[in-house]
Chain A
Amino acid sequence: MRIDCVVNGEPRRADDVWAGESLLHVLRERLGLPGAKNACEQGECGSCTVYLDGKPVCACLVPAGQARGREVVTVEGLGDGDLHPVQRAFIAAGAVQCGFCTPGLIVAVHDLLARTPSPAEEEIREALAGNLCRCTGYEKILTAVRLAAGREHES
């Protein structure tokens, strides 16, 4: 089937999409956007987090057909030609180990700070509960969120 949707602000088309395919597969394998990662494929880990009509979702659980006519923003679309401040904060804080969870976390933090510019500690933890880091590098990730929120003095 054919999927027409808007990805990172641009109309995109994918043809010959199989009905059982996920949005994640379409983004990575058909549209050349490998930022969102394919890890658990069960919606457990958040590595595939993208915006769908403005809400972060697990792209691995979205059948491709559901994206038809809708708006998708991936980690590649967050910065305006440059790295987004959330991405810069992750680099500055050293909040990356193997890096596999990082793109999903970036999208989740981007959403958190858009809704809650100065989140409390427990708000940060709840907002990132669906993003697992198997390197267990959570301390630096939390530091990066505080940095991006302008609360680096508290870290």
Chain B
Amino acid sequence: MRPVSYSRVADVATAIGTVAADPDSTFLAGGTTEVDLQRIHVARSKRLVDINDLPLRQVEELPGGGVRIGAVARMSDVAQALPVRRRFPMVSEALLLGASPQLRNMASIGGNLMQRTRCGYFRDVAAPCNKREPGTGCAAMTGVNRGHAVLGTSEYCIATHPSDLAVALVALDAVVLTQGPAGHRQIPADDFYPMPGETPDREHPVAHGELVVAVEIPPLPMASTSNYLKVRDRESYEFALASAAVAVSLDAGVVTDVRLALGGVATKPWRARRAESVLVGAPATVESFRAAADAELADAVSHGMNAYKIELGRRTIVRALRTVTGDARMVSDDGNPP
């Protein structure tokens, strides 16, 4: 790790002021991304401003059934928090299916949202990467891209966003609360993550010196039976090849409301709006689920090694929908795996 200066701050205003005043500084929370990227010379901040003492650790129930999660709350603490487990189990599951126990004890919620892609070329300073160094090209296009995105790609970048939590938050229409030199902002989770387009280096709307202070999840009664399905190369401590956060409301076997978001297959936490629109009003059958999955992946583009993700994405959608609706409700299950 290159020499940096380190300081600890006790209040939000000082944290913002300190970082805003120094373009070479950054906030330090759990450190599981920042310190790692410093060490491999991808992150180059010279000054780390430790925000772990800020009073942003609470998980609070909001009136009406929502939850507010402080930005420096730990992944492990939030996963176990009763309001989260009761009201939004997909959030708890997404957290517990990420990283390792040690890293979940360290990593913060704000840091989870701000984490960088795990694309091997982004992490290799010798490789061209439009996200790390705009204009240098993308080595993943024709390189080892088995883990890369098939939705939301551009000719500049095909890297996935690695957060499981963000997938659940996008499904739930969560709002990211920030505070910065220009005041307070509320940013819908879906808007928090832009498509790469021609500027994959612009990964979020947060300005230098602006701090994520909390995440608010609005009430959604049907989310109390939601779930998060994560498909990966091994059953623990691995990023998603494909994942789905899903909540469904049924009336007499017909889908009346649905939230569906995908991870692992897209350049951002991917709200599956096409699939949702196919599902609403449709019977909760495997046929409906497949039609929804086909619609969502219709424009998917592979770059060779990741071609399998198009079908894997479809199957992940179908499996997640079957799980959350309960296989007993299937009226035309053909008995084959989805």
Contact = CB atoms under 8 A, between A and B. Distances in A.
A42 interface: yes
A68 B8 contact: yes
Contacts of A66: 8, 28, 31, 50, 52
B4 A19 contact: yes
Contacts of B236: 125-126, 129
B214 interface: no
Given A22-B1, A43-B36, A49-B102, A65 B237 contact: no
A36 to B, nearest CB: 12
Interface in B295-314: none
Interface string B6-40: 11100000000000000000001001100110111
Contacts, number: 87
Contacts of A141: none
Contacts of B237: 129-130
Contact of B48 (A46, A55, A63, A131): A63
B326 interface: no
Kindly state the interface size class of chain B when it binds its partner. Answer: 20 to 34
Contact of B31 (A56, A63, A108, A127): A63
A68 B76 CA distance: 22
Contacts of A58: 32, 102-103, 106
A57 interface: yes
Nearest to A58: B102
Nearest to B28: A63
A20 B32 contact: no
A42 B50 CA distance: 19
A125 B100 CA distance: 11
Contact of A56 (B50, B99, B101): B101
A22 B34 CA distance: 13
A57 B76 CA distance: 12
Contacts of B48: 19, 63, 65
B105 interface: yes
A19 B3 contact: yes
Nearest to A59: B102
A108 B38 CA distance: 26
A11 B289 CA distance: 60
A132 B7 CA distance: 32
A65 B32 contact: no
A19 to B, nearest CB: 4
A49 B101 CA distance: 10
B35 to A, nearest CB: 5
Contacts of B102: 43, 46, 49, 56-58, 108, 130
Contact of A41 (B7, B8, B39, B100): B39
A98 interface: no
A59 to B, nearest CB: 9
Nearest to B1: A20
A61 interface: yes
Contact of B6 (A19, A46, A49, A111): A19
Contacts of B106: 43, 57-58, 61-62
B50 A130 contact: no
Interface string A4-43: 0000000000000011111000000000000000000111
20 contacts: A19-B4, A42-B36, A43-B36, A43-B102, A43-B103, A46-B100, A55-B105, A57-B102, A57-B105, A57-B106, A58-B102, A63-B28, A63-B35, A63-B48, A66-B50, A129-B100, A129-B237, A130-B101, A130-B103, A131-B100
Interface of B: 1-8, 28, 31-32, 35-36, 38-40, 48, 50, 52, 74, 76, 99-103, 105-106, 236-237
Given A56-B105, A61-B36, 14 more contacts: A19-B4, A20-B2, A20-B4, A21-B1, A41-B39, A42-B39, A43-B35, A55-B74, A62-B106, A63-B35, A65-B48, A66-B8, A129-B100, A130-B99
